[in-house]
Amino acid sequence: MQLHKRDVVAAATSLLDDYGLADLSMRRLARELQVSPGALYWHFANKQQLLGAVADHVLAPVGRPSGDWPSRIGALCRQVRDALLSHTDGAELVSASFAAAESTVMADVVGQLTDAAAEAGVPATNAELTARTVVYYVLGFTVDEQSRRQWDAAGADLPDASLLTDDQDTRFDFGVRLLIDGILARREQRV
Amino acid sequence: MQLHKRDVVAAATSLLDDYGLADLSMRRLARELQVSPGALYWHFANKQQLLGAVADHVLAPVGRPSGDWPSRIGALCRQVRDALLSHTDGAELVSASFAAAESTVMADVVGQLTDAAAEAGVPATNAELTARTVVYYVLGFTVDEQSRRQWDAAGADLPDASLLTDDQDTRFDFGVRLLIDGILARREQRV
DNA sequence: ACCTGAACACCGTTCAAGT
DNA sequence: ACCTGAACACCGTTCAAGT
């Protein structure tokens, strides 16, 4: 039967979860789907674009939270982090796809955060920069968290994972609040 | 004559500047140095470790600024950004090496920023997280800036680069101030 | 329109063997 | 101690040719 984009993305996601980003190659994916490597290039221009589609699939649970601007920022940050932690190397994948501008969901997240920053009173020229600063934090924090998590999971007597998880939630929120307080301080002085 | 670590790093840096990170391979580097690929593995455990050494070479101009904590943070951020912009794909290289914990200079920068955060009054448990948040911003911002810069440089009628450069300096400083203000707000409440 | 087969031009890493 | 040569096990991408 015919190969569809969504089948390719689904197979790629399962390879990601089972073997990690380093072992997610075009050739291996083709083998899994029982097609020739070239077939993938009918559906995707290149590997980066395919990974962008996988990133957007990972980010599918991220929504459009409502409320005042600080709680919207908080909710969005938590939703992105949770989505990344749900897949092996999810943070690394999304981080790379964001840098390559291949994730439409991350572009939308930046849009939502830009609106929140504008609502907070950040000058229009700096609202998107403010949004990106929040994204850099979420991605940086989660890449780090996930690499430690996965390193612990492989070997090493893990010292009660649940306690550390609570700790990481608290630490993550600390950074989000630091950013929100920074935004508050950088509002336009309107006399 | 014998191959030394510093020769390898120097040759790698010049390949980086001339052809970019994607074309900096172990095999190409060996060819440039007129040794067999295996020779590099006598001096470096793997490619990541070698790239970490190159990252530290790129970061060599970063110093240990003095002054009060906000100006130390500001100076450090500017120094790191300037160093990254001085080499092709410098930001991407250092970002990857930092994530892989292969750059001792970036580890030192985090140390300096942690001290600054502690001096600002951030609780000890969150001082390092605060420091890493600043680093995520500097790396994220500069990766983005450099990729746009290099995209413009290759083809496209660049609309007077100098004006945009001033603009980028101002934008960078805005983010740094946002973080400093966030740190100020997250000081321990000592009555 | 969609895919195969085969090729092109590479990779990182290892390791017996040499000097 | 330091390096070579050769191998192992792969890559991403392209494209004429097929259906």
Residues B44 and B115 in one domain: no
Structure tokens that stand for B109 in this block:
């920068």
Asked if pLDDT for residue B75 goes beyond 80, the answer is yes
d(CA A66, CA B95) in angstroms, rounded, equals 33
d(CA A100, CA A44) in angstroms, rounded, equals 15
Identify which of A136, A143, A181 has the shortest CB distance to residue B185: A181
A45-99 pLDDT tens trace: 999 999 999 999 999 999 999 999 999 999 999 999 999 999 999 999 999 999 9
Residues A140 and A83 in one domain: yes
By C-alpha distance, which of A52, A65, A66, A143 is closest to A105? A52
Residues B43 and B89 in one domain: no
Q: With CB atoms and an 8 Å threshold, state whether A140 touches B141.
A: no
Nearest residue to C10 (CA, C1')? B27
Q: With CB atoms and an 8 Å threshold, state whether A139 touches B136.
A: yes
Distances (CA, A) of A135 to B14, B48, B61, B148: 32, 26, 28, 18
CB atoms closer than 10 angstroms to residue A89 = 23
d(CA B68, CA B49) in angstroms, rounded, equals 35
Whether CB of B7 is under 7 Å from strand D: the answer is no
Q: How many CA atoms does the CB half-sphere of B44 hold within 13 Å?
A: 23
Residues B83 and B103 in one domain: yes
Residues B136 and B170 in one domain: yes
- CATH number, domain with residue A21: 1.10.10.60
CB < 8 Å & 24+ apart, contacts of B75-80: B76/B109, B76/B112, B76/B113, B76/B116, B77/B134, B77/B137, B77/B138, B77/B172, B77/B176, B78/B172, B80/B109, B80/B138, B80/B142
Residues of B with CB under 8 A from a CB of A: 92, 99, 126, 129-130, 132-133, 135-137, 139-141, 143-144, 147, 171, 174-175, 177-186
Pick from A15, A31, A57: which residue ends a domain?
A57
| CB A56 within 8 Å of CB A104 | yes
Residues B121 and B103 in one domain: yes
d(CA A145, CA A158) in angstroms, rounded, equals 15
- CATH number, domain with residue A166: 1.10.357.10
Residues B86 and B14 in one domain: no
A125-155 pLDDT tens trace: 999 999 999 999 999 999 999 999 988 887 6
| CB B148 within 8 Å of CB B156 | no
Pick from B57, B75, B91: which residue ends a domain?
B57
| CB A105 within 8 Å of CB A62 | yes
Asked if pLDDT for residue A156 goes beyond 90, the answer is no
Furthest C-alpha separation in chain A: 66
Residues A77 and A132 in one domain: yes
Sorted by sequence, the CB contacts under 8 Å of residue A147 that are 6+ apart come out as A91, A92, B99
Domain count for chain A, please give it.
Answer: 2
Residues A78 and A113 in one domain: yes
Structure tokens that stand for A30 in this block:
């083709």
Cα nearest neighbour of B91 on chain A: A99
User: Residue B156, by phi and psi: left (phi above 0), alpha (psi -120 to 50) or beta?
Assistant: left
B33-71 pLDDT tens trace: 999 999 999 999 999 999 999 999 999 999 999 999 999
Residues A168 and A77 in one domain: yes
Structure tokens that stand for B144 in this block:
């983005």
Contacts of A147 in chain B (CB under 8 A): 99
Residues B91 and B180 in one domain: yes
- The mean pLDDT of B110-127, rounded to a whole number, is 97
Structure confidence at residue B165 (pLDDT): 72
Q: Sorting pLDDT into bands at 50, 70 and 90, what band is B159?
A: low
Q: How many CA atoms does the CB half-sphere of A11 hold within 13 Å?
A: 19
Residues B53 and B92 in one domain: no
Q: With CB atoms and an 8 Å threshold, state whether B140 touches A136.
A: yes
Domain that holds residue A29: 5-57
